């Protein structure tokens, strides 16, 4: 077989010698060139490969990333579909606020997918997050309600499904992409949480040209691990805060408790949800503390 140089996208990475790349309509099992073994390609990465024999190749070059989700590792994310529920297990609002802030920080669109609406309509989540500027879609993996609208979010780019275990990510994907096998798990009777059935991150190509993946449930949130090291960008991660920037008395306003702060005043008037603002304040002080203790981690870095 004649060697060729192809451009493709990493859809899975089992090891440095088993990087699966979709290129020229086929999935190539590749090993990483020596210089890439320490900075291994991850799902979502755009790469150049050299074909060796049929569906076997070598990753020669890793192209620049526009962003990177740290845990699980996914690159070049265009849209985060955050699957939540007001039915058991009820999603913690802090989880929604943290994850949506992280996604906006790295430049990804956020869609709030309120699953299990056949059990609980999710009116509270829809009201709060629609007012905050997010697209919120009520769906049911059981009845199929809302799936057509949700499927329109899978038309292009790298789309990541995230959510706590048990909210139905894999079940939803099974309805949206029936040609792909997504494992599902029942709720644990003891703790009311889903058994995590997602073991590896794999991107699945859709007929429309998107790449979709299910991610393991997040048990903790570490903004530094997620790469949120620029505190000046934090207000931009809360749309309802971002639209009021520039209206404060002080140019260096932190938007926490300052006098004549447009955001603090909007919270007092009920125009900004208090819990959303409290989450912003929590992250603000957390990043301030990290910045003071570990200044070297706050240097601008390549994605």
Q: Is residue 179 part of a domain?
A: yes
pLDDT value of residue 103: 94
Instruction: Based on the fold, state whether residues 138 and 102 are members of the same structural domain.
Output: yes
Q: How confident is the model at residue 98 (pLDDT cuts 50, 70, 90)?
A: very high
Task: Quote the pLDDT of residue 198.
Answer: 41
Q: How many domains does the chain have?
A: 3
Q: What average pLDDT does the segment 125-129 reach?
A: 97
- What length does the chain have? 303
To the nearest whole percent, how much of the chain has pLDDT over 70?
A: 89
- Whether 31 and 84 share a structural domain: no
219 belongs to a structural domain: no
pLDDT digits (tens, 9 = 90+) for 1-50: 678 999 999 999 988 788 999 999 999 999 988 777 677 899 999 999 99
E-strand ranges in 120-253 read 135-138, 158-162, 204-205, 211-214
- Same domain, yes or no, for 148 and 33? no
Q: Considering the domain boundaries, does residue 265 fall inside one? A: yes
SS3 label, residue 266: helix
Q: Is residue 152 part of a domain?
A: yes
Q: DSSP character for 299?
A: S
**203 within 8 A of 213, measured Cβ to Cβ:** yes
pLDDT in tens, 58-76: 999 999 999 998 878 899 9
Q: What are phi and psi of 99, to 5 degrees?
A: -70, -40
pTM of the predicted protein model: 0.87
User: Greater confidence, 194 or 102?
Assistant: 102
Mean pLDDT of 252-270: 97
**Which of 154, 188, 214 marks a domain boundary?**
214
Last residue of a domain, one of 170, 187, 214: 214
Given a contact cutoff of 8 angstroms between Cβ atoms, the answer to whether 250 and 243 are in contact is no
User: What value does the mean pLDDT of the chain take?
Assistant: 87
Query: In a 3-state reduction of DSSP, which class is residue 119?
Result: coil
CATH of the domain at 159: 3.40.50.300
Q: With beta carbons less than 8 A apart as the criterion, state whether 49 and 23 touch.
A: yes
Picking from 238, 102, 210, 103, the residue whose alpha carbon sits closest to that of residue 153 is 210
The pLDDT of 85-96, averaged and rounded, is: 94
Does residue 148 sit within a domain?
A: yes
Parent domain of 207: 68-214
Question: 298 pLDDT exceeds 80?
Answer: no
- The answer to whether 28 and 20 are in contact (CB under 8 A) is yes
Please check whether residue 211 is in contact with residue 9, taking contact to mean a CB–CB distance below 8 angstroms. yes
Question: Are residues 86 and 202 both part of a single domain?
Answer: yes
Residue 216 above 90 pLDDT? no
pLDDT at 247 over 50: yes
Minimum mean pLDDT range among 138-142, 254-258, 289-293: 289-293
Distance of CA 76 to the CA centre of its chain: 10
Rounded distance between C-alpha atoms, residue 8 and residue 36, angstroms: 16
pLDDT per residue over 140-185, tens digit each? 999 999 999 999 999 999 999 999 888 988 889 999 998 775 544 3
* 111 shares its domain with 192: yes
Question: Would residue 261 count as lying in a domain?
Answer: yes
Q: In 3D, which of 66, 57, 62 has the Cα closest to residue 42?
A: 62
Q: Is the pLDDT of residue 256 over 90?
A: yes
Domain match, 12 and 121 both: no
Asked whether residue 218 carries a pLDDT value surpassing 80, the answer given is: no
Q: For residues 292 and 192, what is the distance between their CA atoms, to the nearest angstrom?
A: 39
Do both 110 and 75 map to the same domain? yes
| Residues 39, 74 within the same domain | no
- Asked if residue 185 is part of any domain, the answer here is yes
Residue 283's CATH number: 1.10.40.50
Same domain, 152 and 187: yes
For residue 274, the Cα-to-chain-centroid distance in whole angstroms is 24
Residue 300 has pLDDT above 90, yes or no: no
Using a 10 angstrom Cβ sphere, with 0-12 exposed, 13-18 middle and 19 or more buried, the burial of residue 264 is: buried
135 and 188 part of one domain: yes
Dihedral, CA atoms, 277, 246, 77, 219, nearest 10 degrees? -20
Q: How far apart are CA 10 and CA 27, in angstroms?
A: 9
Domain-embedded: residue 135:
yes
The answer to whether the CB of 287 falls within 8 A of the CB of 274 is: no
CATH classification at residue 40? 2.40.50.140
* CA 234/CA 223 separation, integer angstroms: 11
The DSSP bridge pattern shows strands 68-69 and 5-15 to be unpaired
Same domain, 76 and 26: no
The whole-number average pLDDT for the span 212-226 is 74
85 and 152 together in one domain? yes
């Amino acid at each position: 077989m004649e060697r060729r140089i192809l451009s493709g996208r990493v859809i899975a990475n089992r090891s440095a010698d088993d990087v699966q790349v979709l290129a020229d309509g086929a999935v190539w099992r590749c090993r990483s060139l020596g210089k890439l073994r320490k900075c291994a390609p991850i799902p979502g990465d755009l790469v150049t490969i050299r074909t060796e024999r049929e569906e076997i190749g070598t990753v020669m070059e890793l192209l620049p990333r526009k962003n990177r989700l740290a845990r699980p590792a996914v690159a070049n994310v265009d849209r985060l579909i955050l699957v939540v529920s007001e039915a058991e297990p009820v999603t913690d609002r802090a989880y929604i606020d943290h994850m949506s802030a992280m996604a906006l920080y790295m430049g990804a669109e956020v869609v709030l997918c309120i699953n299990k609406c056949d059990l609980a309509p999710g009116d509270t989540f829809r009201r709060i997050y629609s007012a905050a500027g997010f697209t919120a879609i009520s769906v049911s993996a059981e009845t199929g309600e809302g799936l057509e609208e949700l499927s329109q979010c899978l038309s292009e780019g790298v789309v990541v499904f995230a959510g706590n275990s048990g909210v139905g990510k894999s079940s939803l994907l099974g309805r949206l992409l029936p040609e792909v096998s997504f494992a599902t798990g029942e709720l644990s009777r003891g703790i009311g949480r889903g058994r995590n059935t997602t073991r590896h991150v794999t991107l699945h190509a859709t007929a429309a040209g998107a790449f979709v993946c299910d991610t393991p449930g997040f048990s903790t949130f570490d903004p530094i691990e997620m790469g949120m090291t620029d505190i000046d960008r934090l207000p931009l991660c809360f749309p309802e805060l971002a639209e009021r920037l520039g209206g404060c008395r002080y140019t260096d306003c932190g938007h926490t408790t300052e006098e004549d702060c447009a955001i603090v005043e909007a919270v007092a008037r009920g125009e900004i949800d208090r819990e959303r603002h409290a989450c912003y304040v929590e992250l603000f002080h957390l990043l301030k503390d990290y910045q003071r203790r570990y200044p070297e981690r706050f240097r601008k870095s390549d994605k």
